[in-house]
Amino acid sequence: MQARSDSNVELRKALGQFATGVTVVTTRAADGSPVGLTVNSFTSVSLDPPLLLWCLGRSSMNFDVFRLAEQQLINVLAADQIDVAQRFATRGAERFAGVPWNPTDTGLPRLDGCAAWIECGVRSRYEEGDHLILVCRIESFEVLRGKPLIFHDSRYVTELTETPLPRGLRSPLG
Ligand SMILES: Cc1cc2nc3c(=O)[nH]c(=O)nc-3n(C[C@H](O)[C@H](O)[C@H](O)COP(=O)(O)O)c2cc1C
């Protein structure tokens, strides 16, 4: 096994072993039109203050819109939203056509049927490699407790199996 590979394919394979959820990050362009893209680089950063981050690829057609947008919405996709994940990852697609959504009080596009929504304000931006890291402060959120959509090894996974802790082990989270 290689500890390090110069092959992007192999590197993607290695990174893809880390399973994530799937989100669609949305905002409004300067002309008011809704914009969004599928993102799995989302992660929580801090509870106090409540912070999250996600990474935006430089090659995104919406790079400047998200780089400049002060307010953004993380739509955490549910297991039955694979079509939404694909639509918001497809260049040239009419991403908001046919996907039910409503504006939040602040006008951000909120997709119907998600597992959770997190509204946030951008706090800092870091350029690293071919991505921009956006660190955002959570301003409001809603948990719908639906089954989440999972992304692993370049594939979508819709079934989570909860496994009890082996006898004698205690949860580190209490
Ligand atoms: C499951 C999945 C996760 C993705 N995660 C990210 C991500 O974290 N950051 C990112 O910039 N693009 C991510 N993408 C790619 C974007 O969704 C989109 O395809 C890409 O930005 C091209 O579209 P655009 O130019 O309109 O933004 C992901 C795509 C998929 C299918």
Q: How far is the CA of 163 from the centre of ligand 1 (A)?
A: 31
Positions of the chain with pLDDT lower than 50, given as ranges: none
CA dist., res. 134 & res. 120, Å (int):
11
Q: How far is the CA of 41 from the centre of ligand 1 (A)?
A: 9
Give the model confidence (pLDDT) of 140-156 as tens digits. Answer: 999 997 899 999 999 99
pLDDT value of residue 144: 93
Query: Alpha carbon of 39 to those of 3, 6, 74: distances in Å?
Result: 27, 24, 9
The secondary structure element, H or E, covering residue 96 is: none
- Does the beta carbon of 89 lie inside 6 Å of ligand 1? yes
pLDDT value of residue 171: 84
Q: How far is the CA of 69 from the centre of ligand 1 (A)?
A: 17
pLDDT value of residue 6: 63
Phi and psi, residue 67, nearest 5°: -65, -35
pLDDT value of residue 156: 98
pLDDT value of residue 3: 52
pLDDT value of residue 5: 52
